[in-house]
Structure 1
Amino acid sequence: MLDKFIPVLHNTNSSQRVADTARIAFGLGYKTLVISKAVGPAAQIGLPEAQKLAIRYNANIIFLSDLSEVIELLQPDVTLVVVPGKYGGANLSETLSKLSQRLSEIKKVLLVFGGSEPGLTQKEMKLGEVVHPDRVIEDIGTVGTVAITLYTVSQTIQTRQV
């Protein structure tokens, strides 16, 4: 069931952030990762590194130019925009609990993370349902947010055997 969840790292110029996100996603068992709007070192160094990791983990990686394009092409049933709690949104665990009740009819869930400071714009946040990892109120950085969120999702899905 974890293959229904697709992490998306949007708008970054950090090659390290791209590589770390790929390492976390593939290491936790996610089969597809999307990187959108990678610029500068993220595009020149980070994307090739993420591609190598995808090959090692026998996973898929998709590079696109913008978040709206990701949503248009992948056509998810649910888009969760993940932000620190201080920016609002529902608790991730509560949202996952609601999703698990109808997961059999859901084909794709995007988990969108902002890859730069200060994160996602208001316009980008409106492209999905805003959620935050439980008890993560302050901004702990993209990699921390990605790690906690993807781990929470993987544990929730495995525990519920949905």
Structure 2
Amino acid sequence: MVKPEWLSEHVQYIKGLKSPTATQALLVELAAIPNPTAQESRQLDKLIRLEKINQKAEAMKAEAARMLSARREDQRKAHTRELIELGGIVAMVDFPVDRGTLTGTLLWALDQFRTDDDLQHTLKRRGDTFIAERENEKKVETQASAEVAANAAAAEKVPA
């Protein structure tokens, strides 16, 4: 049998609904009977089971909606990150920041790819090499800055 507090709380919840379903209205009606018959008790038990199933289904729908929302948000963030990286590449090569020029250049490159199958691979290699060299330069600069900072800190600690 159902705990009486769940039933009384749920009946109050149903009474607060603007438009309860027919089964919810019947559950409220049967729950209000002080001395139910055996048939009314069975009907009440079935309606209670149905309400609990409906509650679980609503909870699962809400969880599914949260998962979908999180997935869409992750996809949106990944897309935004990709766009930012592409903008960073335009800045990295000091390309003129003019949408028309950039678009025209990309369209020209696509036309060239259609006529020269090897061009895309050649340009990719060149671009990958450029990016790798930039990253190595940044690592060297970072290491040099760290060494200068370490030397300066060590020099401050040595008494004169």
Q: Which has the higher contact order (CA 8 A, sep 6+)?
A: 1
Higher helix residue share? 2
TM-score, normalised to structure 2, is 0.20
Higher strand residue share? 1
TM-score, normalised to structure 1, is 0.20
Which of the two has higher C-alpha Rg? 2
